[in-house]
């Protein structure tokens, strides 16, 4: 089948502003959008720039806006999109070139919530054990792949780039609810700040955008309750 692919292009050395480029390409219905982009780059226009790596929905590097929704290009099939596909960089993030956005501010927010286990007790002989029930408490939020699809779908993030964002809060949840962790005070200080968790307005865009099926809005609300009732 033949489809039309429109890609929002931007080369800061050439373009004064982003522009749309259109390509006609033959594909099979089961091709992924990533396959289509690869074909355009390899066979039609080698100047096209985008990120990709594992191509299996694990690395999170090929997140982009596809037909108006934030998705992973490697997980979306052509047959689910129709004969016209519009591809844009993630919204609300500085565009470096074509579909490549600057991830540094996003990763700075992630680093701010101290995304690693903190436990100052003497190390046990083998490992720090916890019950199945305790592990299940934060199981969903361990699935984050830092693709930024959730954060860049958030209307609060669009209007306030200093907002820490859903992805950072999800990763804070993963440690706040870990029975082995002792670093809650550091994280709560960041989450309770002016641009922390209270900026969330429960739009649910983040939950819809997450390619891993994480209940992002629920996790954010759980973090709010833990802070509000002083349980962390």
> pLDDT tens digits, residue range 125-159?
999 999 999 999 999 999 999 999 999 999 999 99
Give the mean model confidence (pLDDT) for residues 53-61.
95
Phi-psi region of 167 (alpha: psi -120 to 50; beta: other; left: phi over 0): alpha
Query: Beta strand 69-72 with 100-101: parallel, antiparallel or unpaired?
Result: unpaired
Q: In the prediction, which pLDDT does 230 show?
A: 78
2-101 CATH: 3.10.20.30
The string of DSSP letters for 31-42 reads -BHHHHHHHIII
232: pLDDT confidence band, cut at 50, 70 and 90? low
Query: What mean pLDDT do residues 90-107 have?
Result: 97
In this structure, the strands spanning 100-101 and 95-97 are: antiparallel
According to the model, what pLDDT value does residue 71 have?
A: 97
pLDDT at 85 over 90: yes
Which one is the CATH code of 104-228: 1.10.1060.10, 3.40.50.800, 3.90.1200.10, 1.10.150.390? 1.10.1060.10
Rounded average pLDDT over 170-176:
97
Q: Please choose, from the candidates 169, 175, 159, the residue with its C-alpha nearest in 3D space to the C-alpha of residue 215.
A: 169
Write phi, then psi, for 198 (nearest 5 degrees).
-75, -10
Q: Cite the residue boundaries of each domain of the chain with CATH code 3.10.20.30.
A: 2-101
The pLDDT score that the predictor gives to residue 46 is 96
What values do phi and psi take at 117, rounded to 5? -70, 130
User: Is pLDDT of 67 > 80?
Assistant: yes
Residue 113 neighbours by CB under 8 Å, 6+ apart: 164, 168, 169, 171, 172, 175, 187, 190, 191
Query: For residues 196 and 148, what is the distance between their CA atoms, to the nearest angstrom?
Result: 17
Mean pLDDT of the chain: 96
Two structure tokens written together for 217: 């809005």
CATH 1.10.1060.10 domain position(s) in the chain: 104-228
30: which 2 tokens? 């089961």
> pLDDT tens digit string along 11-52?
999 999 999 999 999 999 999 999 999 999 999 999 999 999
């Amino acid at each position: 089948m033949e489809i039309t692919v429109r890609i929002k292009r931007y080369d800061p050395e050439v373009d004064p502003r982003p522009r749309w480029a259109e390509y006609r390409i033959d594909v099979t219905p089961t091709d992924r959008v990533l396959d289509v982009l690869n074909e355009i780059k390899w066979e039609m226009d080698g100047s096209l720039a985008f990120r990709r790596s594992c191509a299996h929905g694990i690395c999170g590097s090929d997140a982009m806006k596809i037909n108006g929704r934030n998705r992973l290009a490697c997980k979306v099939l052509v047959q689910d999109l129709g004969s016209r596909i519009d591809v844009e960089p993630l919204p609300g993030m500085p565009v470096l070139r074509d579909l490549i956005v600057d991830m540094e501010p996003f990763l700075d927010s992630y680093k701010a919530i101290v995304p690693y286990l903190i436990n100052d007790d003497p190390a046990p002989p083998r490992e720090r054990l916890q019950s199945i029930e305790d592990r299940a408490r934060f199981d969903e939020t361990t699935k984050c792949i830092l693709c930024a699809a959730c954060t860049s779908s958030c209307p609060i993030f669009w209007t306030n780039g200093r907002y820490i964002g859903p992805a950072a809060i999800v990763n804070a949840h993963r440690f706040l609810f870990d029975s082995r962790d002792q670093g809650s005070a550091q994280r709560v200080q960041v989450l309770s700040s002016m641009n922390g968790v209270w900026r969330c307005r429960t739009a649910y865009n983040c939950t819809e955008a997450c390619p891993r099926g994480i209940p992002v809005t629920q996790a954010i609300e759980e973090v709010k309750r833990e802070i509000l009732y002083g349980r962390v």
